[in-house]
Amino acid sequence: MDADVGPATERRRSTDRRLRSLLRRGLAFRLGVTAVGVGLVVVFVGLVVLLVGGASASIARFGPGFLAGTAWDVPRGIFGAWPAVAGTLITSALALLLAVPVAFGVALFASEIAPRWLRAPLAYFVDLGAAVPSVVYGFWALVVLVPFLYGSVDPSLERLSGGAAPFASGSGETNVLAAGVVLAVMIIPTIAAISREALRAVPHELREGALGIGATRWEATRMAVLGPAAPGLVGAVVLGLGRAIGETIAVAFVIGNIYQVQGSLLARGSTIPSWLVNGFNESYGLGRSSLYELAAILLVISVVVNLGARVLVRRFERGARLRPRGARAPIAAPPPREPGTPLGTPAWFARHDAARSARLRRRHGVQLLVVVLAVGAVAVAAWPLVSLIDTAAVNGGAAIVRPSFYTSAPPPSCGIGQTSCPLGGIGPEIEGTLVMVGLAAAVALPLGILGGIYLSEYARRRFSRTVGLLVDVLLGVPTILIGIFVFSVFLAYDRPDDQSAFAGAAALGVLMMPIVVRATELALRSVPTSVREGALALGFPRHRVTLRVVLGSCRSALVTGCLLAVMRAAGETAALVLTAGTSLYWITDLRAPVGALAPFIYDALMVYTNSNYETDAWGAALVLLLMMAVVSLAARLAVRAPDAQGSV
């Protein structure tokens, strides 16, 4: 008998040991994901603390009057925020005004009107437009859009308004109007992409319900689609607004960077982000503190827009449109009818019935008009993207087919007009981008995925709602602020002049985190509960179910989210201008300034103004464009591919 008990006890003991170790690992996992959730809060609090801390001298000196002040006088030490705040609000409003109709037209066409074979390519180009780095848009705007506006649009506006207030004669090519138009060009794809998805998400039965009672296609869209899609459409617009408010580089290229409030859109000006990126590196003392205060104001604006959006979207989700227009008098019950008596046609119905064919012509006319307008919107939205790709190909095409372009450094300084510049390359910039994005991804992707797991699988309480809200807010924080935040952290803990590859990577990591967290959360939430319950019922521990089964069954969505985050980092400029510094040389020390693809374009135009790097900059732009084109395509294909079933 002893011989029988022995192995059984042994088996039970080993099962106990395994269980305990599993529990330990489950607990460790749980602590780990919670720590990431806490980390996100720490990042946001750190952002607030450092910006406000940096601004303290300025706040003490100017008080609330800072907001109304109109000067930025470094020698006399007088600083005020109003020109930049006004510039931000005006350019964003202008961008929204121009972009929303076009973007909605594009979304409508892509979702409701376009023939089916055209829908996928169209969606791809919209995605691509949203993925093009802002520095590339800015570069294109400076070379193509701004001269076009200056040559054809500005004079007509001046003539039409008779030189009156909003269009009084300006001082040159760069102006507030150009900034507004560039912003519009940039946010059209963003708004269109999300709006298209919102429209697509409306169940097809609703459209058919409307068609079934004799609606034209546009009427069906208006009656059955726009209402349910409204929260998504509002969200799209607010996201576009957020992007316009925070956009830095493209605005800095075209707005003229003069600190003044003028009555004319044709005058030069500045916005908060453009003023920050222009002045931050050279600023000191009270001037820098005032820049911190500007940054804090920008943070407040972006948070307010973000939270306002949440409230607005909720309102629309609850169906704000259901409230009747005005109080309704109760309807008298109609007289009882004998069964079998037809509805009959009251005089008013007969009247409308008689006018049916005339009215039908008008309704078909409206339908046609909507189609024409939507096609027009697509044409308007396509022009910048086509022109941009064309310009980049023409100017940078020769560079990118030359092997040495990838292996050599930019040529030594070579004056404008000099004809025999040595051919250089952007090898160090590619290296810098790879190193910084690689470092950032190595940290931010795993942490971001853990954060997403925390939000979707573990957190159930108020704290998790706070974290979710903060992720939303962080997603909307302008990247220039992330640059300033990381710069300040490194300033506090390192040598004062320490712009470095590490700092750049840190900024990119902070930028990627919320994107990956949100993508992971959404991907995990899309996995049906039955999958989890199935695995849990088999007795697998929670963390293994999450890691293997749940993550496994949404792998492609996860990969897509990570790819998009990496692309955003690869195209980022504003945050790197402050944190990575500028360099034209190969990396020798990760603690020294480093060049990268996107910032190189900015530097070529704004820093090395005596050199002739334009061709190389176009080459860099084209490389970035090609990267975005390939990755957008990969992301699109990954979403289509069915997920392999995860195994425990």
Partner 1 sequence: MPTKLEVRELSAWYGDRQALYDVSIDLTDRATTAIIGPSGCGKTTFLRCLNRLHEEAPGARVAGAIRLDGEDLGAADVVSVRCRVGMVFQKPNPFPNMSVFENVAAGLRLLGVRRREELDQGVAEALVHAGLWEEVEHQLDAPGSSLSGGQQQRLCIARALAVRPEVLLMDEPCSALDPIATAKVEALLARLKSEYAVVVVTHNLAQARRISDTTAFFYLGKVVEVGPTARLFGSPAEKLTENYVNGRFG
Write the CB contacts of 503 (distance below 8 Å, at least 6 apart in sequence).
486, 487, 490, 579, 580
Least Cα distance to 395 among 602, 609, 137, 614 occurs for 614
d(CA 432, CA 171): 38
- C-beta of 107 vs 449, nearer to partner 1: 107
Residue 96 bridge partners (DSSP): none
Choices 145-153, 156-164, 199-207, 513-521; region in contact with partner 1 by CB under 8 A: 199-207
Amino acid at 318: R
- With H, G, I as helix, E, B as strand and everything else as coil, classify residue 249: helix
Question: What mask of x and - would describe binding to partner 1 in positions 350 to 389, judged by CB under 8 A?
Answer: --xx-xxx-xx--xx-------------------------
Least Cα distance to 215 among 372, 377, 359 occurs for 359
Output the CA–CA distances (angstroms, integers) from residue 477 to 48, 51, 117, 472, 520, in the order listed. Answer: 11, 13, 37, 9, 19
- C-beta of 151 vs 203, nearer to partner 1: 203
Rg of the chain over CA atoms, in angstroms?
Answer: 29
Which one of residues 13, 18, 337, 465 is an interface residue with partner 1 (CB under 8 A)?
Answer: 337
Choices 132-140, 333-341, 437-445, 459-467; region in contact with partner 1 by CB under 8 A: 333-341
111 lies in the binding site for partner 1 (CB under 8 A): no
Which one of residues 7, 64, 75, 324 is an interface residue with partner 1 (CB under 8 A)?
Answer: 324
Q: To the nearest whole angstrom, how small is the minimum distance from the Cβ of residue 233 to partner 1?
A: 12
Least Cα distance to 400 among 420, 426, 419, 428 occurs for 426
Question: What mask of x and - would describe binding to partner 1 in positions 246 to 285, judged by CB under 8 A?
Answer: ----------------------------------------
Q: To the nearest whole angstrom, how small is the minimum distance from the Cβ of residue 332 to partner 1?
A: 8
Report whether 441 contacts 566 (CB < 8 A): yes
Which one of residues 35, 48, 93, 211 is an interface residue with partner 1 (CB under 8 A)?
Answer: 211
Report whether 270 contacts 232 (CB < 8 A): no
Written as six digits, the tokens of 239 are 């996201």
214 lies in the binding site for partner 1 (CB under 8 A): yes
Q: To the nearest whole angstrom, how small is the minimum distance from the Cβ of residue 103 to partner 1?
A: 21
- C-beta of 341 vs 610, nearer to partner 1: 341
Q: To the nearest whole angstrom, how small is the minimum distance from the Cβ of residue 196 to partner 1?
A: 18
Least Cα distance to 478 among 237, 274, 279 occurs for 274
d(CA 327, CA 340): 35
d(CA 159, CA 153): 10
Written as six digits, the tokens of 17 are 């040991």
d(CA 424, CA 586): 13
Which one of residues 110, 135, 210, 414 is an interface residue with partner 1 (CB under 8 A)?
Answer: 210
343 lies in the binding site for partner 1 (CB under 8 A): yes
Which one of residues 7, 162, 342, 496 is an interface residue with partner 1 (CB under 8 A)?
Answer: 342
Which one of residues 227, 376, 411, 541 is an interface residue with partner 1 (CB under 8 A)?
Answer: 227
Name the phi and psi angles at 643, rounded to 5: -75, 140
Choices 65-73, 89-97, 344-352, 425-433; region in contact with partner 1 by CB under 8 A: 344-352
Residue 269 bridge partners (DSSP): 256
331 lies in the binding site for partner 1 (CB under 8 A): yes
Choices 23-31, 247-255, 323-331, 488-496; region in contact with partner 1 by CB under 8 A: 323-331
114 lies in the binding site for partner 1 (CB under 8 A): no
- C-beta of 26 vs 209, nearer to partner 1: 209
Note the residues at the interface with partner 1 (CB under 8 A).
116, 203, 205-216, 219, 223-224, 227-228, 230, 319, 321-324, 328, 331-334, 337, 339-343, 345-346, 348-349, 352-353, 355-357, 359-360, 363-364
